[in-house]
Structure 1
Amino acid sequence: MNKIAVLMAEGFEEGETLTIVDILRRAGLVCDMIYFGDKLVKGMHGMYVEGDKAFGEAVKEYEMIVLPGGRPGGQNLKENPEVIKMVQYFNNNNKYIGAMCSGTVVLSDANVIEGKKVTGYTGYAEKLIGGIFINEVVVADQNIVTSQGPATPYPFAYKIAEVFGKDTAVLRERMLYNFAGGK
């Protein structure tokens, strides 16, 4: 069974993080929320969410690591040397890495996007050093899947599910994504 680790640093963007986890679980994937320190993590908007598992070596057992955004969530991920090492481990072992919004800045610091197409929050073209910035909602290139921001976790999560071989057509219909104008 495919396992995805979604990292929740303090200041994580609640809407992005919880939507990603919700959709991936609906798609039948194992998706754990990984916390640092306290199991109860404070999000960007003051909401506390209980994580599933603590960050550590066991994260290496997952097939994908996901870095959501948030202020200062993305920055907190970027400033954690253990997160940088883990992202590099995933890249060096041809495992998937997903990032959206401010979480994408971790990819530059980890040096895992050199020559790869990426996207990120508005104005992040100059922050995603080494990557080829594409102004699209979701960009997947090799082992990297990126997305832009708070309005984009639905297509981002659907793309991740598809990377793992899931047909998201029925899920999109059941969630009224197509009805709402999603592409």
Structure 2
Amino acid sequence: MKRVAVLMEKGYEEGETLTIVDLLRRANIECHTFYFDNEFVEGMHHMMIKADQQFGDEIKDYDVLVLPGGRPGGENLRNNEDVIQMVQYFNQHHKILAAMCSGTIVLSDAKVIEGKKVTGYTGYEEKLKGGLFLNDVVVYDQNIITSQGPATPYPFAFQIIEALGQDTSEMKERLMYNFAGGR
């Protein structure tokens, strides 16, 4: 079974993070959230959510590493050297790295987007150094999946699910995603 690790650092964007986890679990993908200091992690809108496990080397056994955005969640992930090293490990082992909104800056600082197509939050064209910035909702290039912001976790999560080999068409129907204008 494929496994996805979602990192939760203080200031994570609740809507992005929880939607991603919800959709992955609906797809029957094993998905765990990871904390750093305290198992109850405060989000950007002051929601205290209990994460599943403490960040550690067991994440290396996962298939996908997800870096949600948020303020200062993205910055906090970027400023954590252990996160940078984990991102580099995933890239070196050709595992999927998925980042959205301000979480994309971690990929840039870890120097794993060189020459790869990426997207990110509004104005991130300058922050995603080395990447080829596209103004698309979701971009998937090689082992990197990126997305723009708080309104895009559905297409982002669907891309992760598809990258893991599952068809999302039935799930999109059940969730009324197509009815709501999703692409």
TM-score range, shorter chain: over 0.9
In structure 1, the partner of 2:170 is 170
Distance 1:69 1:60 in 2: 21
In structure 1, the partner of 2:99 is 99
Distance 1:114 1:181 in 2: 33
In structure 1, the partner of 2:75 is 75
1:36-91 deviation per Cα after TM superposition (whole angstroms, max 9, x unaligned): 11100000000011001110111111011000000000000000000000000000
* Deviation at residue 19 of structure 1 after TM alignment: 0.3
Distance 1:54 1:117 in 2: 31
Q: Which runs of 5+ in 2 are unaligned?
A: none
Q: How does 1:34-183 map to 2 (within 5 A)?
A: 34-183=34-183
* Deviation at residue 113 of structure 1 after TM alignment: 0.2
Q: Percent identity?
A: 64
What SS does the corresponding residue of 1:6 show, helix, strand or coil? strand
* Deviation at residue 153 of structure 1 after TM alignment: 0.1
What SS does the corresponding residue of 1:160 show, helix, strand or coil? helix
Amino acid at match of 1:10: K
* Deviation at residue 116 of structure 1 after TM alignment: 0.2
* Deviation at residue 33 of structure 1 after TM alignment: 0.6
Distance 1:131 1:36 in 2: 28
Q: Which runs of 5+ in 1 are unaligned?
A: none
Distance 2:54 2:166 in 1: 27
Distance 2:129 2:98 in 1: 17
* Deviation at residue 29 of structure 1 after TM alignment: 0.5
TM-score under structure 2 length normalisation: 0.99
In structure 1, the partner of 2:22 is 22
**Deviation beyond 2 Å, 4+ runs, structure 1:** none
1:109-142 deviation per Cα after TM superposition (whole angstroms, max 9, x unaligned): 0000000000000000010000000100000000
Distance 1:32 1:46 in 2: 21
Distance 1:30 1:141 in 2: 23
Amino acid at match of 2:90: F
TM-score under structure 1 length normalisation: 0.99
Amino acid at match of 2:162: E
What SS does the corresponding residue of 1:121 show, helix, strand or coil? coil
